[in-house]
Structure 1
Amino acid sequence: MKSLLQINGQLVHWAKLHQFKPSTPFEKSTIDFIQQWLSEVKEFNIHTSGSTGKPKKINISRLQMEISARLTIDALKINSGQTALVCLDTEYIAGKMMLVRAMINHMNIIAIAPSSNPLTNLDKVPDFAAVVPLQLEEMLNNEKTKMLLNKMSAIIVGGAPVSPVLERKLQQVSTPIYATYGMTETVSHVALKRLNGPERSATFTAFKEVKLALDDRGCLTIQSALTNHETLTTNDRVELISDHHFEWLGRADNIINSGGVKVQSEKVEKAVAQILDELGLSNRFFVTGIPDEKLGHKVYLVMESPDNLNNDKEKILSLLQAKLSRYEVPKDITLVPQFTETPTGKVNRRETIKKLL
């Protein structure tokens, strides 16, 4: 293998991997996984992130990972000899799959510990990267790294929905950027959605070999080589437009039954994102249901606010009334100094709500 391997700025020779002494958990998990892969390990125990439930370990075969990597490489037309930036935690599926894609496609690897702006201080522009929305936002906010984004070949973004505000900003970037749909159980993603440029789309397109259907809740089911040909039932409510195209509506467990009216949290969150953008606010937030004696649950907006935002609360609620039905408008805004996060940096809604209640 003649490709370049660089970890946290250190050049590592493939033939001397066993001599590399990791000094951080990221370096250890990266080197350990590369060595396992090169040793032809057939099965891997991988942790889920715990963003939608309790973290757990699942077994994923080498073949599933190879198929997943090939599907992505072919869909995005990633070439051998190009450079992959690995800037997600390699303890989890997203980081591991970037390593797999690079190794089976004979690509150079630049692996750096996850940070808010992984393009800072790079001496080489990568061709391909997988990032989370927060990283993409930070890269766009920095003029130098924004220029680097335009020199790449393809970027995939996952781990959390891309807000309408961020999607609007992505129109400044010429490099194709795709939202991914998937989870650990699908060995990273099974579908892609173009977020920018003339091919921008409101719908996800699943890989051709993936079979999609709906259960009686309107939630997506997936059957694929990536699920070991078993049917995986998700908690994601979607509009299935065709055999391979769907629009994501939100999670079934994020529906708030308020006075007999079903409110989808994600719809309210889209409106909140637009209003915060108009007001020049960048606070993290989510919408949830808080138990209420009269309504069963009432819609609440929970915002992360190290500084006091009390003066803006009434303005935000007033502006939301023009965008949402009276059932969907949050009854109040609760300010939290800091959200609880999962190990992969996602907002842990369950734990944050537990603290609130």
Structure 2
Amino acid sequence: MSALENLHAVLRMHQIGIVNLLRPDHLVSAAIRNARLGPQAALIMKAAIEHPHAPALTDERGTLNYRQLDEQSNALARALKDLKFPDKSVIGVLARDHRGLVLTISAAARAGLRLALMNTGLAAQQFAEVVARENVRAVLYDSEFAGLIDALPDAVPRYLTWADEGAADKTIDMLIAGQPVTPLPLPDRPAGFIILTSGTTGLPKGAPRTKVSPLASALIADRIPFPRQGAIVVASPLFHSTGFGAWTVGMSLADHAVLLRRIDAESILRAIAEHKAQMLVAVPTMLTRILSLDPRILDKYDTSTLRTVFVAGSPLAPELTNRFQDRFGEVIYNVYGSTEVAVASVAQPAESRRAPGTVGRPPVTVHVAVYDDEGRRIDRPHTTGRVFVRTGIPFEGYTDGQHKQIIDGFMSTGDRGHFDDHGLLHIDGREDDMIISGGENVYPLEVENLLAERDDVVEAAVIGVDDPEFGRRLRAFIVPTEDASRDPQEIRDYVKALLARYKVPRDVVFIDELPRNPTGKVIRRDLPTGPLP
């Protein structure tokens, strides 16, 4: 980043309320803690000093204020230090969203341990492979995942972050009990953390973050309005970059994180109403399920305080954006990014109305470019190419030694997209999702978005399957509404009337639900590709 970009980012942080340039003494101490702990633990400490009695989080067990969260983090950090692992050793956490996960994130940093945030959707073999690959020395976990823990060698210590009845292992509450709540000496430098990629095409990769710039909060909050000391319902899992990033920025503003260990559409509305939340962090499939509720349930909850819906994790259909905003107001901020690049661009509500399907513009310190297949930059609007991003939070490479392609300092996202006449970015689809049918390139996202516009379609996914004549043909999987006619030819005729003939699905399959991972992404490999009955 240039000095001018750094200055712009600092000024934006001041405007947003993340830092106060009028209190340089606070700035210096916060910068030191961030440089030696990393942002999550440092921000909890900062909020505990400035807003000790403000609510930090609420889960099924009640509410912790920032002082309590800070003190319990110190106690757990001391317990982790007592385990005598070498500095920067990796420990893993496999937990849903609740205080046990937050305490583990904060305490690991204070104890000088590197934390691997495990995906709760992993199969037992995948989990064991990731633990071995990341050299995890101990695992903290929710008791519901005991079956995954059984796949590990007995020599790996394990502790419970959440204990259901009959759980056998020692809990973190037991580890905390009797420990001093005073701070430990700060580590020389942060041990960092590892977030796993979604793993929709295979074993999730580890994306490490060792040193995160203190300007990173500006990157997320620049184009997304966060409340100050307000309530945020975090419905996206904290082990994923969407929930993790939004929660982190919220702490910089001393916000109250409402965490849901078990999530359904009504529980989200209930949490918004109960806590008068100004912000919801969600993935698109959650919005679909909210809108699918009986209107009487929707009317039951007062969501008038809601000002921002931070949506990321998978493509957001234009039709879904419009329907949600017609019901809840102009609140959707559609975030495009990835585990590797963080936030690449944000579509604000007015942009989504003006250019349906756009993912908006990049925030401060971020630059987006489109390149052709020969690595030449594309400057013309409405010309599809490969999307690359240069960001103020540089990617360190995967823990297995691999890295994304980089051109001119810009890193590949793995997507194809284009800019429109207004400079707004549009994503046309994943590079590896492209289907070549009869010599024509088809990106499933365009067909999926069109199908989602139908009143009798809840959601849809399109894949390519083998075809003896065309090489590949399109197969559409549709989740229909209850009153849908479920007529495949009607679907084909609808697409044929609006798109080129080679984009018409030859196969149309009606299913009850699409296979998704815990972050809401469709797992396309789990959709059947063989002959249909």
Shorter-chain TM range is 0.7 to 0.9
Matches within 5 A, 1:54-133: 54-64=203-213, 66-113=214-261, 115-117=263-265, 118-122=267-271, 123-133=274-284
**Contact 1:179–1:193, Cα closer than 8 Å, also in 2:** yes
> In 1, Cα distance between the equivalents of 2:419 and 2:444?
20
Q: Which moved more, 1:80-89 or 1:309-318?
A: 309-318
TM-score, structure 2 as length reference: 0.59
**Contact 1:44–1:59, Cα closer than 8 Å, also in 2:** yes
Shift of 1:132: 1.0
1:205 aligns with 2:361: yes
Matches within 5 A, 1:321-340: 321-336=496-511, 339-340=514-515
Matches within 5 A, 1:255-294: 255-275=434-454, 277=455, 280-282=456-458, 284-294=459-469
Shift of 1:259: 0.9
Match of 1:225 in 2: 392
1:191 aligns with 2:345: yes
Work out which of the two has the higher radius of gyration on C-alpha atoms and give 1 or 2. Answer: 2
1:246 aligns with 2:422: no
Shift of 1:297: 0.5
Q: Which moved more, 1:159-168 or 1:297-306?
A: 297-306
> In 2, Cα distance between the equivalents of 1:149 and 1:200?
25
Specify every segment of 5 or more residues in structure 2 that has no aligned partner in the other structure, as ranges: 1-47, 77-92, 112-185, 374-384, 397-408
C-alpha distance 241-103 of structure 1, shift in aligned 2 (>3 A): same
> In 2, Cα distance between the equivalents of 1:356 and 1:348?
19
Shift of 1:201: 4.0
> In 1, Cα distance between the equivalents of 2:490 and 2:258?
45
For residue 14 of structure 1, the aligned residue among 52, 65, 69 is 69
1:300 aligns with 2:475: yes
Q: Which amino acid aligns with 1:211?
A: H
For residue 103 of structure 2, the aligned residue among 8, 31, 34 is 31
Match of 2:23 in 1: none
1:214 aligns with 2:370: yes
> In 1, Cα distance between the equivalents of 2:223 and 2:109?
23
Structure 1 vs Structure 2 CA RMSD: 3.3
C-alpha distance 109-145 of structure 1, shift in aligned 2 (>3 A): farther
Shift of 1:44: 0.9
- Structure with the largest fraction of strand: 1
Q: Identity of paired residues, percent?
A: 21
Match of 1:138 in 2: 289
**Contact 1:88–1:113, Cα closer than 8 Å, also in 2:** no
TM-score, structure 1 as length reference: 0.85
**Contact 2:434–2:443, Cα closer than 8 Å, also in 1:** yes
**Contact 2:220–2:246, Cα closer than 8 Å, also in 1:** no
> In 1, Cα distance between the equivalents of 2:354 and 2:481?
35
1:177 aligns with 2:248: no
Cα deviation 1:77-135 (Å, max 9, x = unaligned): 42431222222111221221122112222112211125232424322121122111122
Q: What secondary structure is seen at the aligned counterpart in 2 of 1:49?
A: coil
Q: What secondary structure is seen at the aligned counterpart in 1 of 2:453?
A: helix
> In 1, Cα distance between the equivalents of 2:302 and 2:355?
24
> In 1, Cα distance between the equivalents of 2:501 and 2:235?
42
Q: Which moved more, 1:346-355 or 1:304-313?
A: 304-313
Match of 1:352 in 2: 527
Shift of 1:225: 1.2
Cα deviation 1:111-167 (Å, max 9, x = unaligned): 112523242432212112211112223334555657644422211111122223212
C-alpha distance 317-242 of structure 1, shift in aligned 2 (>3 A): closer
Shift of 1:10: 1.4
Q: Which moved more, 1:84-93 or 1:199-208?
A: 199-208
> In 2, Cα distance between the equivalents of 1:69 and 1:60?
14
